[in-house]
Structure 1
């Protein structure tokens, strides 16, 4: 889900690394329609295979080394959930709808609006705590899949001077997600007790929306922290002006 941000950054970096190839042409500052088209073309054609000539890494699937979601006792979903060596699948299904910002002034809010048909986070997990009224514990393989998910990614740019050039650093990154549906599956719950595990997975899916609303902020914050660093690192390598044309 939030690996979406990495793909956005790399789409821009492609043009820089290839010295702005004639196809696609670089966009003018703030040209939302042009930027959206470039992003969608690159994601559609390169997300699942990458492109060594353009230094584009494979984005689908994309690894998430570690992510922790921890809710306090005051929440109806009081859990400590850790994902380790997971992958995000479905980035190639993303469709960018609109962008805001990306003008000549770096120190503005930049915003990306997009939709993902299907995004899954899959891999090893460990959980303990309570979900609504029921205790939960286990470790094994998990899958969380968002369906038809609208997303908004926003961050504030800060100009950074280096070697006579102006670069952009991303700060205060926020991620907002609104899925049409969310499916959960956790294997090996309750030390492998199949009956308890099946019942818990059914309970999670029957109450997916209430559970998601409780953990949404923690999930979004976890991804935002990861990708703010990624975006800042990428933009620190190239002057901001090279991403666009007059």
Structure 2
């Protein structure tokens, strides 16, 4: 009789945990022969919630996706041209598609590939040094459009127990970014000096891939860090038993 009562309690508990899965969670079953496809679908299911944010778990909207600053040295020498971007905001991060997913197995890292058709970046811009023989120190607004964006993510996870439930945690995450086409420009800089604005925009137009390469290492680290924070904010509020069910 006692065993029966215990079994009923366990089953009721499991049913309650699964039944209480929030709307933003798409559940996947352990015995699903297409488990990877289910997890990819569960990530896609999150897209509208990531776009609007999930206030009940303090998950901010990724529209825009915010980063702090990047510092770039674009030309060499004592008067080399330097750019600092601050208060960066990326628009379009929620419009992603999961192209592939490899789950963690035998302590190996998980891998995923996501693509985004377009990312629009806005930032505050300051510069110093000489550009195309012109002194080009100033500040203004920076604009960029990345098209054909793909990101290869690699990370490691662990399971943490808390308050009678298990939670997945991303311990490390790295990201490799590939951008097929990029356009960059500035506005409102140099007190709207037309010559300096045109010279800077000419440089950015003709050297956008070089500028992207200069910012890529920092950008990848910042994106990986922010993605990891967002993912863990979600995961620490959703027990594994709610999205990975028997």
Q: Distance in 2 between matches of 1:31 and 1:178?
A: 28
Are residues 100 and 90 of structure 1, via their aligned partners in 2, closer, same or farther at CA, if it must alter by over 3 Å? same
Structure 2 residue 237 is matched with structure 1 residue 237: yes
The answer for the alignment partner of 1:141 in structure 2 is: 141
Q: Distance in 1 between matches of 2:19 and 2:226?
A: 24
1:208-227 residue pairs with structure 2 within 5 A? 208-227=208-227
* Deviation, structure 1 residue 206: 1.3
Q: Distance in 2 between matches of 1:99 and 1:132?
A: 45
SS in 2 for 1:93: coil
CA distances 1:44-69 after superposition (whole Å, capped 9, x unpaired): x556556779998644x2251x5221
Q: Distance in 1 between matches of 2:19 and 2:151?
A: 28
* Deviation, structure 1 residue 187: 1.5
Q: Distance in 1 between matches of 2:151 and 2:242?
A: 27
Q: Is residue 97–residue 115 contact of structure 2 (8 Å, CA) maintained in 1? A: yes
The answer for the alignment partner of 1:26 in structure 2 is: 27
* Deviation, structure 1 residue 129: 5.3
The answer for the alignment partner of 2:99 in structure 1 is: 97
Provide the TM-score with structure 1 as the length reference. Answer: 0.72
The answer for the alignment partner of 1:121 in structure 2 is: 121
The answer for the alignment partner of 2:41 in structure 1 is: 37
Are residues 24 and 46 of structure 1, via their aligned partners in 2, closer, same or farther at CA, if it must alter by over 3 Å? closer
Provide the TM-score with structure 2 as the length reference. Answer: 0.72
**Over aligned residue pairs, what C-alpha RMSD do you find?**
3.7
* Deviation, structure 1 residue 135: 6.5
Are residues 219 and 136 of structure 1, via their aligned partners in 2, closer, same or farther at CA, if it must alter by over 3 Å? farther
Q: Distance in 1 between matches of 2:19 and 2:134?
A: 52
The answer for the alignment partner of 1:68 in structure 2 is: 69
Are residues 63 and 178 of structure 1, via their aligned partners in 2, closer, same or farther at CA, if it must alter by over 3 Å? closer
Q: Is residue 156–residue 170 contact of structure 1 (8 Å, CA) maintained in 2? A: yes
Q: Distance in 1 between matches of 2:124 and 2:238?
A: 36
The answer for the alignment partner of 1:8 in structure 2 is: none
Are residues 73 and 17 of structure 1, via their aligned partners in 2, closer, same or farther at CA, if it must alter by over 3 Å? farther
SS in 2 for 1:224: helix
Deviates more, 1:70-79 or 1:32-41: 70-79
Deviates more, 1:119-128 or 1:73-82: 73-82
* Deviation, structure 1 residue 25: 4.7
SS in 2 for 1:200: helix
Q: Is residue 79–residue 131 contact of structure 1 (8 Å, CA) maintained in 2? A: no
Q: Distance in 1 between matches of 2:239 and 2:92?
A: 31
Are residues 230 and 24 of structure 1, via their aligned partners in 2, closer, same or farther at CA, if it must alter by over 3 Å? closer
The answer for the alignment partner of 1:4 in structure 2 is: none
Q: Distance in 2 between matches of 1:130 and 1:243?
A: 55
